[in-house]
Structure 1
Amino acid sequence: MAINLDAGTPAVSAARRSFSAWLALACLFAIALLLRHVLAANTDVSWLLTAGERVLDGGKLYIDVLETNPPMSILAYLPAIAMSRMMGLAAETVVDALVFIAIFASLTCCAVLLRQRVGLVGAYGWPLMLLAFAILAILPMQSFGQREHIALIALLPLLAALILRITAVAPPQSLAMAAGLGAAVTLTFKPHFALAVYVPLAVVGVVTRVSWRVLLLPEHLTAAAGGILYVAVTAIVWPEFFTEILPLLRDVYVPVKPSLMALLEKPAISLWAIALLAIVTLQRGRRLASTLLLLMATSAAFAAAFLLQGKGWPYQSYPAIALALFGLGFAMTQDNGASRSWRFGIGLLLLALFVRAMLWFDVAFDARPLQERVAQLGQKHPAILAITAEPGIGHPLTRAVGGTWVSRQQGLWIDTYLTVMRRNGMLDDVRAAAFESYAERERQRLIADIRRTPPTILIVDDLTGSASDWLKAHSDVASLLTDFQQVDTVNRVGIFTRRPSGG
């Protein structure tokens, strides 16, 4: 009996491809884990963990803990804090673990959804999945675990469901509702993210010609219900966000921002624009596939959110760049008539954009030299007070040395912002007098915080501001810190400790 040696070849080849794909995923995961150990902890995540711990310990958000963002910015980290306490692990470690779990869960949900449409990704399923994982787990660098990062992870299943809709396939209702819940999570972080939810919905409505009926899709109804419930709960449980924080943001936080031209000159915009231009160029005059159009529109929505926020910080541009890079990778899998050499060139461009974006997302205030010097003081569980508006001075330094943050807010930013507004002629006499109450309230809260938790280490920032001059101008605060002596200076940041008794 003859044996057909070719019969098993396709199965063997498929098994090898599958093994290679899983091995590649494992390698990417290892790189992502290594980055979590090499990179410094994120400033905002560190502060939000500190704020979350105070909330879990009974502190009232927006009263005992001051944060300029909606409640979800802190609520999102509470599970990690609770789990870290139960397991005796650092909260940062648990956050990283949960984010990785969320990445795998989101991509798995997307894969299950897209399998409903046979041939949608075809032979490029694994390459696209690996690209998506790299974009979610490696690309963020310092932005890993940030709100924008989590928001995009939560939104991806909705995009997968809408890709099915736009290709005339209805996803299972249970998966559609799960995707809607993810979109609801995205909506809760920042109001700007409504653009990233409703722009792709509008694209689906236009392409499929169902117009307003797209609002009746289960994924949208679930997202809308979640968003409305969140606003209602916020109004009931944290009314101070509307009565205290929003007016403060309107009057002080929002006006202080770079010009539109300065924002457009940020690396984020050029990276995003080059990626989208490459997509259009790769199509070489052909009509954009509806799936590609959806990805590009969502990326543009996040880019608009980046500009609307008006600060130009790297992490705020992450979703826009991430989707643009994935869109470019997806475009390379399409039948667009491009030659092999042309695709190779685009592939090199994608790699170059990926690496440059990693560098952009690694831009952060690095206070590790200061952290090392504070740690050398040998104080066990020090109470740390920083006179600064720069969040990176005190965070993650305080958590890294096992200390307690004295202030109820991330930094003394209100007085600094008002100073900028005065210097730039943004305040007339009437508004200056009215807004002075914000700075006065900030200072009185600081005084109360110092009396409640007397600091054992004082940090005075003359690097990013003039904290020494600020203390001289505000004797009510300085009088509480007269028993401190300077022990060192790191890059114009003074480190002070209390004088020994009788010294």
Structure 2
Amino acid sequence: MGDLKPGPGWTLISLLPAIFFLAVVLAPPLNQDVAAVLSFAERMVAGEALYAHLIDVNPPLIFLLNLPAAWLGAWTPLSAVQALHLLLLAFCAGIILLCLRLRRPGTGPVEDAMLLALLPLNLLLAGYDFGQREHLMAVAALPYLFLAERRAEGVRTGPGLVAVVTLVAATGFALKPHFLAVPALVEALLLGVALRQGRLRQAVWDSVPWGLGVLWLAYLALIGFGFPEYSGIILPLVRSDYLGFADPSLGQALMTVHLFTATVATLALLAFAIAARAGTLGWLPRLLAAATFGALAAALVQLKGWSYQVVPVWMFAGLFGGIVAARAADRVLAQRAAHRLAPLMAAGFCLALALFLIRAGEAPWRQFRYDDSPAGRLAAWLRERAPGEDVMALSPDIHPAYPAMNYAGNRPVFRFMSTWLLQAAYATCPADGSRFRAVEQMGQAERFLFDAVAQDLAAGRPRVVLVARDAHIAWCGGQAFEMTAYFARHPAFAEAWRAYRQAGEIDGILLFMRPD
């Protein structure tokens, strides 16, 4: 093994997978949900009120976190998309520094090399889903998990560092209620460790869970007092129309490719973590296994099976594999051999993880095909025909209007991100066999959307209106659901719509323009 010498060349090779995923993350397209949230934040900076005019079921935290990028996009030469990427990458860099600072004392050379190569890859491996709430949660959770190992092993950590980690973790876990499964399982494991070690009193007064709880209560107070419309307008929509909307059964969700592979991986990881002795590999692998199980539970309860929902599973599982391999090598190899093999093991593991994600994920294929994708062609059309103009998008899907409008610099005028309320209202056909309900027969949510579309079109007079040909609503009475025909029954919409002419179609998106 005399030719296997560590050096800067092997260090660079071990970082190549992370560099590749960095290029993927920076290349278009931006994830459609991330793009839509960023667009709402830009409209907040411009003066539109969240939940009073901008209507979405997501709690306010994700919009508040996007405000700095929206502000930079408004007041600096950066676009909002560029500013978001810059801030997210700075956040990831800070997380890497926190994790390295929180390594348990006495790590071996293989683990040191593995962390230097794997942490950057781990934070970027979301690819197309970079910036989604699941990705942000998993990124924010990593320092918390490193700190959890120190808590399990009784290693003292400075109060300032603990406070920073607690604030970051609390913010990440607060992005969705489902995410609380991760700290619940981690804290339960830590409590069990404390009971076995006779440190129950110390565990009960641990500042981390108390700090998390206080911060979450403060966030609930912020929602109640800072955004009263959320409980008055949004929660009734969530209860009456959003929960259970178009959800498959748990069995059907489990059979989706993303949830099935994530479930199998989590079960295998749990079995390995239970079999491995904490005294041999430390507590971090078991803590990562608990976090992976919590992340899987959070994905399962959403009953969708979308790729971004399992991003935390692969992030936690990938770090689990790297830590286990590195600690095992440091334990069995002689010091000199460990130093020689460390960069090779890091490079090999990171390359294998990257190849698995390229094979099983959506990156980099979306980036390679972007110019010829619906979002890419729509963005090109908008840049050519209506750059920077106001646009209304009437579609059951957020994609491809977002991110196309973000890249073309358009200003959306519709108060919703999509027309999902129509799908909920017409989940079953009207009882009288008609295609559309009469206005007086509409429920509160349907009437709200019906009026909102007409009011936004009449008041905003956007240059372009994008209308999805397929409303994702079943045929009733032998007729398809045509959105323009549905909304044209509103006098304000009908009056404003007379000014628009169809200017084309891109992958089922009808393009209407108002002449100058």
TM-score if structure 1 supplies the norm length? 0.85
Residue 469 of structure 1 pairs with residue 469 of structure 2: no
Which of 133, 139, 144 does residue 153 from structure 1 map onto?
139
Structure 1 distance, partners of 2:50, 2:43, is 9
Deviation per residue, 1:198-230 (Å, 9 max, x gap): 211111111232458535322222222211111
Partner of 1:335: 328
Matched-pair contact (CA < 8 Å) for 1:140–1:361: no
Matched-pair contact (CA < 8 Å) for 1:135–1:322: yes
SS at match of 1:395: helix
Partner of 2:127: 141
Partner of 1:426: none
Shift in Å, 1:371: 2.5
Matched-pair contact (CA < 8 Å) for 2:41–2:70: yes
Structure 1 distance, partners of 2:349, 2:411, is 50
Matched-pair contact (CA < 8 Å) for 1:41–1:396: yes
Alignment of 1:201-350 (within 5 A): 201-209=187-195, 210=199, 214-256=203-245, 257-276=247-266, 279=269, 285-287=275-277, 289=281, 290-335=283-328, 350=353
**What one-letter code is carried by the residue in structure 2 that aligns with 1:319?**
P
Partner of 1:172: 158
SS at match of 2:102: helix
Alignment of 1:346-495 (within 5 A): 350=353, 352-359=355-362, 366-377=374-385, 379-420=386-427, 436-463=443-470, 465=472, 469-474=482-487, 475-476=489-490, 477-495=493-511
Shift in Å, 1:100: 1.0
**What one-letter code is carried by the residue in structure 2 that aligns with 1:158?**
Y
Partner of 1:4: none
Matched-pair contact (CA < 8 Å) for 2:145–2:284: no
Shift in Å, 1:348: 8.3
Partner of 1:6: none
**What one-letter code is carried by the residue in structure 2 that aligns with 1:419?**
Y
Distance 1:55 1:212, change over 3 A: farther
- Identity within the alignment, %: 22
Which of 181, 198, 202 does residue 195 from structure 1 map onto?
181
Partner of 1:49: 38
SS at match of 1:385: strand
Deviation per residue, 1:148-189 (Å, 9 max, x gap): 222222221111110111223232222111111111111321
Structure 1 distance, partners of 2:112, 2:482, is 59
SS at match of 1:459: strand
Matched-pair contact (CA < 8 Å) for 1:460–1:468: no
Shift in Å, 1:393: 3.2
Matched-pair contact (CA < 8 Å) for 2:15–2:347: no
Matched-pair contact (CA < 8 Å) for 1:275–1:350: no
Distance 1:238 1:345, change over 3 A: closer
Structure 2 distance, partners of 1:304, 1:376, is 45
Matched-pair contact (CA < 8 Å) for 1:314–1:361: no
Matched-pair contact (CA < 8 Å) for 1:67–1:409: yes
Matched-pair contact (CA < 8 Å) for 1:267–1:360: no
Matched-pair contact (CA < 8 Å) for 1:457–1:497: yes
Question: Greater relative contact order: 1 or 2 (C-alpha under 8 angstroms, separation 6 or more)?
Answer: 2
Structure 1 distance, partners of 2:413, 2:118, is 43
In angstroms, what is the RMSD of aligned CA positions? Answer: 3.4
Deviation per residue, 1:97-150 (Å, 9 max, x gap): 1111111111111111114x223x55322213311211211x111111122222
Distance 1:125 1:273, change over 3 A: farther
Q: Quick check: 125-134 or 349-358, which moved more?
A: 349-358
Residue 118 of structure 1 pairs with residue 95 of structure 2: no
**What one-letter code is carried by the residue in structure 1 that aligns with 2:504?**
D
SS at match of 1:408: coil
SS at match of 2:42: helix
**What one-letter code is carried by the residue in structure 2 that aligns with 1:480?**
A
Which of 81, 99, 112 does residue 70 from structure 2 map onto?
81
Structure 1 distance, partners of 2:326, 2:429, is 53
Deviation per residue, 1:4-58 (Å, 9 max, x gap): xxxxx9xxx7xx54x3465347645542342134331221121112211221222
Matched-pair contact (CA < 8 Å) for 2:388–2:408: yes
SS at match of 2:466: strand
Alignment of 1:3-42 (within 5 A): 17=7, 19-20=8-9, 23-24=12-13, 27-28=16-17, 30-42=19-31
Structure 1 distance, partners of 2:203, 2:137, is 22
Shift in Å, 1:486: 1.2
Shift in Å, 1:480: 2.6
Q: Structure 1 stretches of 5 or more lacking a match?
A: 1-8, 424-432
Structure 2 distance, partners of 1:192, 1:351, is 27
Distance 1:37 1:346, change over 3 A: closer
Matched-pair contact (CA < 8 Å) for 1:205–1:212: no
Shift in Å, 1:272: 2.3
**What one-letter code is carried by the residue in structure 2 that aligns with 1:316?**
Q
Shift in Å, 1:94: 1.1
Structure 2 distance, partners of 1:284, 1:162, is 18
Q: How many residues align?
A: 474
